[in-house]
Chains A and B, each alone.
Chain A
Amino acid sequence: MIRGTVLVACALLLAASATSAGGLQPLLLEEVLPNGLRVVVAPQPASPAVTVDVWVQVGSRDETDELNGAAHFVEHMLFKGTRRRPVGQAAREVEGLGGRINASTGYDYTHYYAVAPAGAWERVLEVQADVLTDPLFDPQEVEREREVVLQELSLIYDTPSRYAFFKLFGTAFTVHPYRRPVGGSPEAVRRMSRAQLVEFYRSHYGPARATVVVAGGMPARPVLERARALFGRWRREVRRRERAPREPVWEGVRRAVEVRDVQVTTVAVGWLGPGVDDPDHYAVDVLVYALGQGRSGRWVRELRDRRRVVQAVSVGYPTLKDPSLVYVVATTTDADETRAESAVLEEVRRLRREGVTEEELERAKVLLESDVRREQHTSRGLAASLGFAATVADLDYHRTYLDNVRRVTREEVLEVARRYLDPDRYAVVAIRPRRSP
């Protein structure tokens, strides 16, 4: 499971971690409260820290064209005061305890995480319960925050690799809500009213769509009891998440080109892959690792080192609830995307003929497994991994992920490469310099 690109509430605290997966088996306490909220407690006795991470089943996929950006805007508004805590108070409290608090929004989820010294777990849990269940949406604050959100969208626009990612999803998907960028368009964000935001919050934030994960060096039982008391009184009926329309089979190539004041061309190519419920996605995760993760990825070697058509390349496949994209993003000094694109397609054809070698397969699995271990050694990483699994799949997904990865065979990798990576049906996005460099 590879978590996708998300927007984060506060750029100061942006973390580097991008991959996550379940599989290691620390002792977990899990309970579904009478109101439907799920609590997961994962003690890491040696950890000096605690992470309280609240995951909500709401993301840009739950928006409409008119409300594109609402999930992210609401995420910002939750830090703008509650009845008990004026604007800034929640952050001040957590920071005063020596911690930090932040949130991020993706296609399928929004989560609010606070990390603090382990001894502060109770106060942090109280702050999180208040922030999540009792936001004010003060009208003046909505207007101020609107400018902040618009500014965040500009920063994404100015970072070609991040912008290319959302642009690729927007080009690839025509029907499914993944076509709308997380964060929305500036036009929609400008138009959204306070009433619409409040309504969006009311209809999507409720105990039945939330999971509270607490991981780290805190005591397990008292945490569970306190979480019951704090979140158990949260009452709000929310409707179940609607199914999104299925993306039809693509015809041919979908292309979008933008010309900008940049010196380097950014190219992204993507194919429609499986969603998290499809067992194929384990083989696709392994394939993506074999092609472009770590230092030995085949496409890094072929495209950057041997053919020298690109100067940097990465391969990704964010795990999503519904069919996601397998994508390559590269930068090149060429004036346009032609050479890089055809080199990628040649590699795709070769992959569909030969698959990956036994050595590549084993290496990809070892690398994937050690990435999982790496992420889960901190309270923040473990909490994120558990919350993500509970939100887009279930905790079993976390428990069985690595076993499923270990079972992937060369034949399965070849099969998924042939099934999903079609050299005649793909989406491509290019951000080109105004003049050839």
Chain B
Amino acid sequence: MRLAAAALVACAALAALEPAHPQPAGPAFWVLSTGLRALAQEVPANGLVAVSVVVGAGPRVEEPGQAGISVLVREVMLRGTVRRSGNQVADALDSLGASLRALTGPDHTEWTLLVPAENLDPALELMAELLIQPRFAPEEVEAQRRVSLVRLRQQQDQPQSRAVELVASHLYRWHPYGNPLLGTPESLGRIGRDDLVRYHRTFYTAPNVVISVAGEVPAPVAVAKVQRVFRSLPATPLPARVRLLDVHERALAERPSSRRDVREAKDTASTWIAVGYLAVGVGHPDWPALRVAAGLLGGGMASRLFQSVRERAGLAYAVGASLPASKGPAALTLTAGVHPANVDRALAAMLREVDHVRSRGPEEEEVALARSRVVGLHLLDHEDLRRRAFYPAWYELLGVGHRFDRRVVELASRVTPADVQRVARRYLEHPVVAVVGPAR
């Protein structure tokens, strides 16, 4: 597994202000003496600076029975540090005009700050305090537990998120990616304050964190600030037990050998269909072709699903396909929200498009379109300063290196129709199909 390797590299203490891999167009990269990896790029941005702290803390590292702990830790961290209450933290952030976004994905938790350049110093100090010295006050743990339980129920009220969650839990079985992000009522009831403290101590460490700055601050200045403010982030390496090996990963998430169907009745106006296929992680050579396959199947208005399910048949408003980037095997998921009477027709149309790509392969023209779309969206996505800071840090954490953020464009540009057909045949064979809506 790549994370271990990255942590070792970190031990080679480099001169802090000398970029390890100077790159004129992309961010400069440093590995600091604690093992903390830092990236910085100077970009004109309306007087703003974005700081993205990406931590290897998500379902991937959750222990059995502790589903949801990554999000719970994150939320309790926002409720106070050893020096300030949660309200004081919030007051301070808002007074600086800083917005802080905290999000969790399968492999990571992202803390992204956007702040006017003139307030960067105090905002950075505050962010470091929040990440390094959370208080985990028992009453705040209980308060957050209550809020999380309600969020969980609220999410289950939504047929769309429920369908996607069902696909993940059946597709991944024993693999931690099957853990619902918010946990379950049982796991949330079980996780105690000590678990939170232990989780934080284990994963919020320098070798498990990448920090990236983008905006109106010179790169060397930015990294000097990061180095100073985050110097007390512990240099403790990750314990061996949390490093999921490829071989284990394959055993935990075995590709299904037949189609599986799951239905859940819910008295809603529309029915949601989610179709998931187990694919590969971002570092796998087949990932770029799968990304293009997801795009031509359901990314945008020119895609196959949009054309066949919405434009030609008028069966759905929302229809699409996605393949996230993850360290372990990602799921390529097709989704559609349809009238309950049209479930069978819509599902058949969705599966027909997949079969068509498998059996006859895609047209050159549509692959070209999907490629342009992947490349263009990459560029448009980076217009937002927060995304621009986040992506290289995230790829670095995922083990494919920060430069992957630019390489992904090149890789997608090389995908051919034959590549798409090959990966479709290999991976898009036995789906898990989840349907959530009114009982028939």
Contacts from A to B (Cβ < 8 Å): 10-13, 24, 46-49, 79, 87-88, 91-92, 95-101, 115-117, 143-152, 154-155, 157-160, 260-264, 294-296, 301, 304-305, 308, 311-312, 331, 333, 359, 362-363, 366-367, 369-371, 373-374, 376-380, 437
**B43 located at the interface, meaning its Cβ lies under 8 Å from any Cβ of chain A in the complex:** yes
Ranked nearest first, the 9 interchain pairs of A and B with the lowest CB-CB distance are A98-B376, A370-B97, A261-B267, A91-B301, A11-B318, A295-B90, A144-B314, A147-B314, A154-B269
Q: How far is the CA of A90 from the CA of B91 in the complex (A)?
A: 47
The answer to whether residues A367 and B302 also contact, given A98-B375, A155-B318, A437-B153 and a CB cut-off of 8 A, is no
Q: Is A88 in contact with B301, judged by CB distance below 8 angstroms?
A: yes
* Contact residues, B263-298 vs A (CB, 8 A): 266-270, 298
Q: Is A294 in contact with B157, judged by CB distance below 8 angstroms?
A: no
Number of inter-chain CB pairs below 8 Å: 203
Contacts of B100 in A (CB 8 A): 295
Interface class of chain B by DSSP: mixed
**B379 located at the interface, meaning its Cβ lies under 8 Å from any Cβ of chain A in the complex:** yes
Partner of B299, one of A12, A296, A369: A12
In the complex formed, the residue of B with least CB distance to A437 is B153
Q: Is A95 in contact with B369, judged by CB distance below 8 angstroms?
A: yes
Q: Is A98 in contact with B373, judged by CB distance below 8 angstroms?
A: yes
Q: Is A100 in contact with B380, judged by CB distance below 8 angstroms?
A: yes
Contacts from B to A (Cβ < 8 Å): 43-48, 78, 86-87, 89-91, 93-100, 114-116, 143, 146-147, 150-151, 153-154, 156-160, 266-270, 298-302, 306-307, 310-320, 337-339, 368-369, 372-373, 375-377, 379-380, 382-385
Q: How far is the CA of A75 from the CA of B307 in the complex (A)?
A: 18
Q: How far is the CA of A79 from the CA of B306 in the complex (A)?
A: 13
Contacts A/B (CB < 8 Å), 18 sampled: A10-B301, A12-B320, A95-B302, A95-B372, A97-B376, A100-B300, A144-B311, A144-B312, A144-B313, A152-B318, A154-B339, A261-B268, A296-B94, A305-B87, A308-B146, A312-B147, A333-B150, A366-B96
Q: How far is the CB of B384 from chain A (nearest CB, A)?
A: 6
Q: How far is the CB of B17 from chain A (nearest CB, A)?
A: 25
Q: How far is the CA of A158 from the CA of B369 in the complex (A)?
A: 33
Partner of A264, one of B95, B97, B153, B383: B153
Contacts of B47 in A (CB 8 A): 373
Q: Is A158 in contact with B315, judged by CB distance below 8 angstroms?
A: no
Contacts of B43 in A (CB 8 A): 46
Partner of A160, one of B86, B116, B157: B157
Q: How far is the CB of B262 from chain A (nearest CB, A)?
A: 19
In the complex formed, the residue of A with least CB distance to B215 is A377
In the complex formed, the residue of A with least CB distance to B96 is A366
Q: How far is the CA of A148 from the CA of B307 in the complex (A)?
A: 12
A-B contact sample (16 more), CB < 8 A, given A262-B157, A264-B157, A380-B383: A12-B299, A48-B382, A49-B380, A88-B307, A91-B302, A95-B369, A101-B301, A116-B376, A150-B339, A151-B317, A155-B317, A155-B337, A264-B153, A295-B94, A308-B143, A377-B46
Partner of A155, one of B97, B115, B157, B270: B270
Contacts of A99 in B (CB 8 A): 376, 380
Q: Is B270 in contact with A98, judged by CB distance below 8 angstroms?
A: no
Q: Is B314 in contact with A143, judged by CB distance below 8 angstroms?
A: yes
Partner of B95, one of A79, A143, A363, A376: A363
Q: How far is the CA of A71 from the CA of B111 in the complex (A)?
A: 40
Q: How far is the CB of A289 from chain B (nearest CB, A)?
A: 9
Q: Is B316 in contact with A151, judged by CB distance below 8 angstroms?
A: yes
Contacts of B159 in A (CB 8 A): 158
In the complex formed, the residue of B with least CB distance to A140 is B314
Contacts of B382 in A (CB 8 A): 48
Q: Is B337 in contact with A154, judged by CB distance below 8 angstroms?
A: yes
Partner of B45, one of A145, A157, A369, A377: A377
Q: How far is the CB of B41 from chain A (nearest CB, A)?
A: 12
In the complex formed, the residue of B with least CB distance to A290 is B94
Q: How far is the CB of A44 from chain B (nearest CB, A)?
A: 9
Contacts of A88 in B (CB 8 A): 301-302, 307, 311
Q: How far is the CA of A95 from the CA of B367 in the complex (A)?
A: 12
Most chain A CB inside 10 Å of its own CB: which residue of B44, B89, B318:
B318
Contacts of A371 in B (CB 8 A): 99
Q: Is A370 in contact with B300, judged by CB distance below 8 angstroms?
A: no
Contacts of A91 in B (CB 8 A): 300-302
Q: Is A363 in contact with B91, judged by CB distance below 8 angstroms?
A: yes
Contacts of A294 in B (CB 8 A): 90, 93-94, 99
In the complex formed, the residue of B with least CB distance to A11 is B318
In the complex formed, the residue of B with least CB distance to A89 is B302
Q: How far is the CA of A145 from the CA of B315 in the complex (A)?
A: 9
Q: Is B270 in contact with A12, judged by CB distance below 8 angstroms?
A: no
Q: Is A370 in contact with B99, judged by CB distance below 8 angstroms?
A: yes
Q: How far is the CB of A406 from chain B (nearest CB, A)?
A: 13
Q: How far is the CA of A331 from the CA of B154 in the complex (A)?
A: 9
Q: Is B302 in contact with A152, judged by CB distance below 8 angstroms?
A: no
The answer to whether residues A95 and B317 also contact, given A79-B301, A151-B339 and a CB cut-off of 8 A, is no
Q: How far is the CA of A79 from the CA of B310 in the complex (A)?
A: 12
